Amino acid sequence: MIAIVDYGVGNLFSLKSSLSMIGAEAMVTGSAEDLRAAKKIILPGVGAFEDAANKLRATGLDAIVTEQAQAGKPLLGICLGMQMLFERSFEYGEHRGLGLLRGDVVDMRGRIPESLKVPHIGWNALRFRQPDHPLFRYIKEGDCVYFVHSFYAANCEEATLATAEYGAELTAAVGSKNVLGCQFHPEKSGRVGLNILRAFCEL
């Protein structure tokens, strides 16, 4: 069973459907018991960092997710859920993340040419930093995935698994042992996205 953490942020419909499409049993849950019983955990997220981080803390699930990740359970953060795995975010101020990965979340404005539109929305190609990572088992370099974001993870060289070129190398996928994350939306990235989720489910 894969637990999709429900802490009142975002629409989890597509994520749940995409998991059932690949034959994975998944539940959307906000219960600590379920997260502890699950084989794997997915931390989704959309919207603003501060609001999402506050909601996660208010439910007390931040502690459970951290405890389970530290115990070695595979954890996949998606989009804002990935950003929350890091130590800090500078989205409208400075906010504390879960600190499961080393690095910061920063604004792409000022780091990419002004001629490029922000948010970075659309299909962009993956460039692998760690081509042999199990998350990429069923996909290849150059495959396109779907992004929607204005902030991205920086100062996280060690954990960077893949990037996407957008006037700068934007962090696209991260991982350190059992803690993984993707900035893009695998549940909206067609066959490539489903193959990434399948690889995660098989970890």
Partner 1 sequence: MITKRIIPCLDVKDGRVVKGVNFLGLNDVSDPVKLAQYYSESGADELVFYDITASAEGRSLFTDILTRVAETIFIPLTVGGGINTLSDFDRVLKCGADKVSVNSGAIRHPALIGEAAKRYGDQCVVLSVDAKRVDGKFRVFAKGGREDTGLDALEWIRRGVESGAGEIVLNSIDTDGVKQGFDLEMLSAVCELVSVPVIASGGAGGIQDFVTLFREIPKVDAGLAASIFHFGEVSIPDLKQALFEAGITVRR
Instruction: Kindly state whether residue 127 participates in binding partner 1, applying the rule CB under 8 A.
Output: no
Is 25 known to be catalytic?
Answer: no
Closest approach, Cβ 63 to partner 1, in A, equals: 28
Is 187 known to be catalytic?
Answer: yes
Instruction: Kindly state whether residue 171 participates in binding partner 1, applying the rule CB under 8 A.
Output: no
Scanning the structure block, which residue is given the tokens 């803390």? 57
Identified binder of partner 1 from the candidate list 112, 148, 168, 203, rule CB under 8 A: 148
Identified binder of partner 1 from the candidate list 39, 109, 117, 177, rule CB under 8 A: 117
Choice between 15 and 101, CB closer to partner 1: 15
Choice between 21 and 63, CB closer to partner 1: 21
Choice between 48 and 203, CB closer to partner 1: 48
Closest approach, Cβ 145 to partner 1, in A, equals: 9
Catalogue the active-site residues. 79, 185, 187
